[in-house]
Amino acid sequence: MAEMHHVKPHLLQEMAQRIFVAAGTPEDLAAHVARHLVKANLSGHDSHGVIRIPRYVQMIEQGTLAGAARPEVVRDWPATAVVDGKRGFGQVAASLALDVAIDKAGKNGVGAASVRRCNHIGRLGDYSEAAAERGYIAIMTYGSAGPNNGHAAPFGGASRHLGTNPWSIGIPGADEAPVVVDFATTVVAEGKIQVARAKHAPLPPGSIVDKEGQPTTEAEDFYAGGMILPMGGHKGYGLSLVAALLGAGLTAESPATEGRGGGVFVLAINPRAFTEPEVYGATIDNLTGAVKAVAPAPGFSEVQLPGGPEAKSRAERQRSGVPIPGDTWDALVETAQRLQVPVPEGAP
């Protein structure tokens, strides 16, 4: 097992923000992305946290990520909108889309927005969780498809054609924590493979195949041309394809001709448009409370709601620090030093 550093969250966020600013990103955008990445780490999803920073900086330097770009609404209907991410940080564009969808749901009962020209948006559950904390249900997808696209093969296929194409749903209650479902439609997210690679750890069996289509647990086999498998076989493939179709179809500016496309789609729902707030909240709390009251199976201490493990992780990591594998920390430090960003005092 690789060496592990434990870094205080505020120091990690400070370092991330300074790196992005040094790479040419305005202070407010840098702060937004840094908060999002560190919250992913705090939530236990290291695959979508600061491990992404060196790659983001590389993309800025290569011109594929416009670090100073600000998204804007380019198509605006009463209940729907399209956001142009302008190839900037996906976290900023997706946050704008969520805000727009929620605003429209507040006025119309439902609101939806899509995002075109968008880079990696980070942990999808962050957005549906944020919507639930504001009292709104949110359903969100980020999908892409096309020849030699992404990291996954379609069910029955032998070459990469789909992204990990995640889905997330957030459902608020009244007094209880919101239910937050967040999952890739592949057995593992690509970022999880990055984390395993950094830790020099094997992947769970059945997660990936090598370039010859043979099962493997070695992360390096994936980066040598392997593929991630869809979760649940044809079921995960179906969800993945739908995410790609929503993303592509609701962001398209001209007809697709090469079988490629993708984007973000978010649907916000205002529960108050369907029933009285106290009735809705009491109903959700009653149902979730009944689920949590189910007797645990052997090997489990309790039944948790989706989103519960992330909340526990945030509490624990706020106390003990964010665990960063040695390889990941070295890459962060190298990136910081190259951009003449000092490592925060008190960090390893």
Question: What is the CATH architecture of 4-186+230-286+306-338?
Answer: 2-Layer Sandwich (3.30)
* 191 has pLDDT over 50: yes
Count CA atoms closer than 13 A to 144's CA, side-chain side. Answer: 19
* 166 has pLDDT over 80: yes
* 118 has pLDDT over 50: yes
> How much is the pLDDT for 190?
86
Average pLDDT over residues 99-108: 98
Query: E strands of the chain, at which residues?
Result: 4-7, 72-76, 80-84, 110-116, 137-145, 167-171, 179-183, 208-209, 215-216, 227-228, 261-269, 322-325
Tell me the CA distances in angstroms from 86 to 68, 70, 262, 270, one per residue in order: 10, 7, 14, 29
| CATH H-level, domain 187-229: superfamily | Hypothetical oxidoreductase yiak; domain 3 (3.30.60.50)
Count CA atoms closer than 13 A to 36's CA, side-chain side. Answer: 26
> How much is the pLDDT for 2?
58
Q: How far apart are CA 211 and CA 111, in angstroms?
A: 42
Tokens of 177: 């924590």
Percent of the chain with pLDDT strictly greater than 90: 90
Check if the beta carbon of residue 169 is closer than 8 Å to that of residue 139: yes
Tell me the CA distances in angstroms from 284 to 42, 171, 174, 277, 319, one per residue in order: 26, 9, 7, 11, 31
When the pLDDT of each residue in the chain is averaged and rounded to a whole number, the result is 95
Which range has the worst mean pLDDT, 52-61, 120-129, 168-177, 196-205?
A: 196-205
Q: Phi/psi of residue 272, each to 5°?
A: -70, -15
Over the stretch 218-260, which tens digit does the pLDDT of each residue have? 999 999 999 999 999 999 999 999 999 999 999 999 998 899 9
Question: Around Cβ 308, how many Cβ atoms within 10 Å?
Answer: 15
* 347 has pLDDT over 80: no
Best CA proximity match to 321, nearest among 14, 41, 29: 41
Domain(s) of CATH 3.30.60.50: residues in the chain: 187-229
Binned at pLDDT 50, 70 and 90, residue 198 comes out as confident
Over the stretch 37-50, which tens digit does the pLDDT of each residue have? 999 999 999 999 99
Q: Tokens 């976290």 label which residue?
A: 91
> How much is the pLDDT for 1?
47
Percent of the chain with pLDDT strictly greater than 70: 99
Domain(s) of CATH 3.30.1370.60: residues in the chain: 4-186+230-286+306-338
Widest distance between CA atoms in the chain: 56
